[in-house]
Structure 1
Amino acid sequence: MVAIHWLVAFVVFGLFALGAWMVDLTYYSEWYKTGPDIHRSVGVLLFFLMLFRVVWKFANTGPRPVPSHKRWETVAAHAAHGVLYVLLFIAMVSGYLISTADGSAISVFGWFDVPSVTGQIKGMEDVAGSVHYWSTLGILILAVIHALGALKHHFLDRDETLTRMLGH
């Protein structure tokens, strides 16, 4: 499960960087179509990985909190993880709605297509785009806070929180 944690983190930051970069592409850029295609394809695959992760999380117990953690730290960590999961699914669903607002399917690297379930809905891409922007920004901010918390535990508290997150 540690590997999935880091894979999701890497993919989320990569998608954020790609998304931030591709919004400024011009029609004449060779990446104008390729960048969004990669972004959508990886986003769909991330959705399936996150579904697996949620099922796994409910079917298996996670590691017990480090005994030296204060109660508020444990509650805050669980709340942050919960909000991260919700924001990730909001970002992925809103990204799907942006891409399928015109009724077209999403081709995932040419391997398979994810059809539109909404058909054509005028203006949906604008609303979904706003939701996508704010949810991804929230993910980024919360992920940075999460990382800072792990560093705090490692360098200030000198406990094994970070080493457990690294799979040691």
Structure 2
Amino acid sequence: MQENDRYDRGTIVLHWLTAAITLFMFVSPYIWKTFERRTPPRLEIQFYHFSIGLLFGIIILGRIFWRANYGKKLPPPEGARNYRIAEAMHHLLYALLVIQISLGIWTRFAQNNPLVFFGLFQVATPYDGAWEHRQYLAYAHYLVAWTTVGLACVHGVVALFHHYVLKDNLLSRLSLGGSRGKTAYRLPNRGGEQ
């Protein structure tokens, strides 16, 4: 694999940053629910969930802008018959992430809580009191989270299948380690071939 077979550094970093933040945002509510309501550990985890969620909104918009304007475009790997399906999956994941972040902001406002960004500033809720339909927003936020993570898992499994079964070195395109002529993810040769 050559350097021109890889995405640019910005695309790679934004991809893995998106994956890491998505994982944190998904598991953090399950962690804070293990603590009693209004206790410091629970409030601390919620604080970071809300602040990182706002930061994530900026990162996702930046990622979409980067991909559309500056990100390196690569042709499909050889033998990738379903490339259009993969592209549709990427667009669907972007849309779900934007919807999820929007639902999170809207839910926070509907709960009559301000948006706080790491204690640096806050945006007051536009509602006068707790909105009566906030439970529907919270449930939509929950459903979109599970849908996003489920599709992201399918996305990951398909990428692993391509890389290890079809042996098209798909994961090498997003490797953080750089190109050294061989991928760091290649399985050892078990057939004795050189």
User: % of aligned pairs identical?
Assistant: 23
- 1:58–1:150: structure 2 CA closer, same or farther, 3 Å change rule? same
Report how far residue 105 of structure 1 moved.
Answer: 1.9
Q: Which residue of 1 aligns with 2:7?
A: none
Contact 1:97–1:124 (CA under 8 A) maintained in structure 2? no
Q: TM-score, normalised by structure 1?
A: 0.90
Distance 1:20 1:62 in 2: 37
Distance 1:27 1:104 in 2: 16
Distance 1:91 1:100 in 2: 14
> What does the per-residue CA deviation read over 1:1-47, in whole Å, with 9 as the maximum and x for residues that have no partner?
10110011001001111122223431263312111111000000000
Q: Which runs of 4+ in 1 moved over 6 A?
A: none
**Aligned: 1:140 with 2:155:** no
Stretch deviating more after TM superposition (151-160 or 19-28): 19-28
1:3 paired residue among 7, 13, 27: 13
Q: Which residue of 2 aligns with 1:109?
A: 118
Unpaired segments of 5 or more residues in structure 2? 1-10, 179-194
> What does the per-residue CA deviation read over 1:59-102, in whole Å, with 9 as the maximum and x for residues that have no partner?
135222113211xx201111111111111111111111111114
Q: Which has the larger radius of gyration?
A: 2
Matched residue type, 1:59: N
Report how far residue 133 of structure 1 moved.
Answer: 0.4
Q: Which has the higher contact order (CA 8 A, sep 6+)?
A: 2
2:48 paired residue among 33, 38, 57: 38
Q: Which residue of 1 aligns with 2:74?
A: 63
Q: TM-score, normalised by structure 2?
A: 0.78
Unpaired segments of 5 or more residues in structure 1? none
2:94 paired residue among 85, 93, 99: 85
